[in-house]
Structure 1
Amino acid sequence: MATKSQHSRAYRPLPEFLRGVRETAGLTQRELGIRMGKPQSWVYNCETANRRVDVTEFIRWVTACGADPAGAFAQFLAQATDGGRP
């Protein structure tokens, strides 16, 4: 049986990172959902890897949290890589 890509080992750091961005911004899942035009359950599913987040959603998420997408992506890469390799 195939495993969904959001459950892969390589994807695991992203949901935790997104949650951290939201929490650093002082937002609840509901507040972030409102800013993004999504229900709270959508935010929950992204943060628990029940739903995969694409790059455009990453940008919208970080922007809705008041952060710079390029800076946030650089930070994510620094945290999620081992010796410069994903």
Structure 2
Amino acid sequence: MIRDSATGRDWGTAAEIAARLGPDVTDRMVINWRRRDGLTVHRVGRAVYSPLDQAAAIEAAKRRSTRGRRRQLAHATAA
């Protein structure tokens, strides 16, 4: 992870973001969010970085969506 000192945002590769967002998020999912959902990318040499907060927002929206496969909430509690 890289922290942008000017904005305070954390940026990471697809694998780093997937690891931070939980066990049911894969690096392939993050790459698809870049292509399909407009996740911002910044290239540094061959490495591709995206902002963690934007990826988390996309992931939260996907998790709340009724489309696609059902996913578990990260902090689900029994009601």
Could you say which TM-score interval applies, normalised by the shorter chain? 0.3 to 0.5
More helix by share: 1
| TM-score relative to the length of structure 1 | 0.31
| TM-score relative to the length of structure 2 | 0.33
More relative contact order, 1 or 2 (CA 8 Å, 6+ apart): 1
More strand by share: 2
